[in-house]
Structure 1
């Protein structure tokens, strides 16, 4: 597969962004840096989720402007002391941890049988459902998990779902890109992200969202410039289709629903001038809170931006492209809007953690976070499993 985004492995750089934040951030490939970034990715994803969720108040608020006013009254992102009981993580973090902890269990088992990993993921998703009190789990997630039978070899498979296009797969798959960080692991990444996605969202719009979140994390670990990630996704969709055909499950139904995700992304990349992945994104001259709300709504399936598999990673990506290494700008674009804000937040912030670590992030946003230790531990242990790839 040719990669639109060619880069020299010896000289990796972070994405260059438009606006005020245009600068290059060279990666130093030391193990401490990688460990730090892996830990930061899991941790900041959780922190952003808790912030965007705000105990459901902001996740379900349809006016981005109202959220921005409330944040301002609280003293801005820098003043937020993210801790219980006011700030708890949502179902997004609980399920992202489930994916990560299943990967860690599998890595330690040295099994080598990928279906064992799928069973472990199914088991961890089952367990995660006992920790959903007050976390607003999605209906498709809870229903999908209730159909899983982790003790059976094929118990990770559920029936095709015509209504399975939500963002539940996309919000919990970023760590897959951390487990498969190298270009030569792309086939494994495609397989695992699709299977994890369709354990609850067995519909292309749903499970391809899982692929997108994992793929962009995989690119972030490699230090690929962010403006070419979208073009890489369009190429990877071909591999995804080959995989779905090869697996042979519900091929006709998948084919029937395949193009929605693909076309939505093609349209988005065209709007931002990113189709060939060669130039920086083009944003409108005026792209404030109201304009973003309008755009997020426009790219959505049903008017709630970020609630589907195609637009949760898309809005996260749009926000990431426009924020450079500014956590505050990322929060304005990805955490505080009138859509499914915790889902776009966890996705974008995970990429931020991989690219920049905790640089410029107010300590109060994460130091007292619920599940802080678990999140950092998961990041650290996933890095331990793949450390040999970086030596």
Structure 2
């Protein structure tokens, strides 16, 4: 749990300062190896972007969904949608609105109230006239969008390790269409969730990819996502890892390319840091590909394998740790935290208020 969320945040922060630069410029400025550590972004080294912000709010929504289940209601996409609306408030408000009892502790973290190049589909799907409408598979938000904003926030669904893979896939899909309605976008999110889920349950990355491919084959319009994952596997077999092989998979601005790059870099990594650096040093959406690779390597190796020098300089590290631990606590001890004897005034209910 900790490893997946922290690894994703580290990969995100490594790519934040070079997100819009070409590989040629990255190498000209930082040397032939590209960046080898954090470079300044948004006023500091180690800053995270909207990728980590939205991943954190995904976890917040999943925690509240489990709380609602024990109170008689159970529709996780609704709670994740409400969580994303709270994230959207961080992109337009100066700070937390103390008049809102629904914010919980995460929504009151002032450092999260910062725009970090959020994707347009995420913003448009969660603001304006359609903000409160729940996107569904039959009536998705932004039906033509397959931007990587749908996949870079999907790893937390894979941490529901007591669920069956098919249900994890479906939940990631249903929460993707809250903002991104193109099949390639939401199927890429489902694929990442299943790969993370496989690894979190003790399997290998390769097993996760092949399970994702099997589940994709059952879905209409899976061809782009399937081709991207198969391209990642082909690149692994093609020879020595390189930035050129990464760039052959795309730039990562769209979901299937970001997924392929993140998966490829995780598969060929000889340690966590090498995989993360490979995932960010390319011409494209470096923070999103770094985040996806970090989610995978963190889930595979755990938080103790994360580079300590990168962990120490990560913005919001304490928040990520606290939320990860709360997620575990909710999944393992939820009924004790919000059972019949746990009323609305309990600490857990204050941390994660469920709007009725």
TM-score, normalization: structure 1? 0.71
- The 8 Å contact of residues 14 and 38 in structure 2, kept in 1 or not, is answered as no
1:95-134 correspondence to structure 2 within 5 Å: 95-109=54-68, 110-111=70-71, 113-115=73-75, 117-132=76-91, 133-134=114-115
Residue 156 to residue 145, structure 1, CA distance change in 2 (3 Å): same
| 1:318 alignment partner in structure 2 | 264
Shift of 1:80: 6.5
- The 8 Å contact of residues 152 and 288 in structure 2, kept in 1 or not, is answered as yes
Residue 159 to residue 108, structure 1, CA distance change in 2 (3 Å): closer
| 1:328 alignment partner in structure 2 | 273
Q: How far apart are the structure 2 equivalents of 1:53 and 1:135?
A: 9
Q: How far apart are the structure 1 equivalents of 2:131 and 2:216?
A: 29
Q: How far apart are the structure 1 equivalents of 2:21 and 2:181?
A: 28
Residue 312 of structure 2 aligns to a residue whose secondary structure is coil
Shift of 1:120: 1.5
Equivalenced residue count is: 308
Is 1:296 aligned to 2:249, yes or no? yes
- The 8 Å contact of residues 148 and 199 in structure 1, kept in 2 or not, is answered as no
Is 1:369 aligned to 2:314, yes or no? yes
| 1:283 alignment partner in structure 2 | 238
Is 1:62 aligned to 2:11, yes or no? no
- The 8 Å contact of residues 296 and 339 in structure 1, kept in 2 or not, is answered as no
| 2:255 alignment partner in structure 1 | 309
Q: How far apart are the structure 2 equivalents of 1:90 and 1:71?
A: 21
| 1:347 alignment partner in structure 2 | 292
Structure 2: which 5+ runs fail to align? 92-113, 334-356
- The 8 Å contact of residues 315 and 344 in structure 1, kept in 2 or not, is answered as yes
Q: How far apart are the structure 2 equivalents of 1:79 and 1:230?
A: 29
Residue 152 of structure 2 aligns to a residue whose secondary structure is helix
| 2:353 alignment partner in structure 1 | none
Q: How far apart are the structure 1 equivalents of 2:173 and 2:210?
A: 19
Q: 1:174 aligns with which of 148, 155, 162?
A: 155
Shift of 1:39: 1.5
Is 1:220 aligned to 2:199, yes or no? yes
Residue 255 of structure 2 aligns to a residue whose secondary structure is coil
Q: How far apart are the structure 2 equivalents of 1:68 and 1:366?
A: 24
Q: 1:210 aligns with which of 186, 189, 199?
A: 189
Q: How far apart are the structure 2 equivalents of 1:370 and 1:139?
A: 24
Cα RMSD of the aligned pairs, angstroms, is: 2.9
Q: How far apart are the structure 2 equivalents of 1:129 and 1:310?
A: 24
Residue 378 to residue 283, structure 1, CA distance change in 2 (3 Å): farther
Q: How far apart are the structure 1 equivalents of 2:178 and 2:205?
A: 29
Is 1:265 aligned to 2:229, yes or no? yes
Q: How far apart are the structure 1 equivalents of 2:194 and 2:207?
A: 12
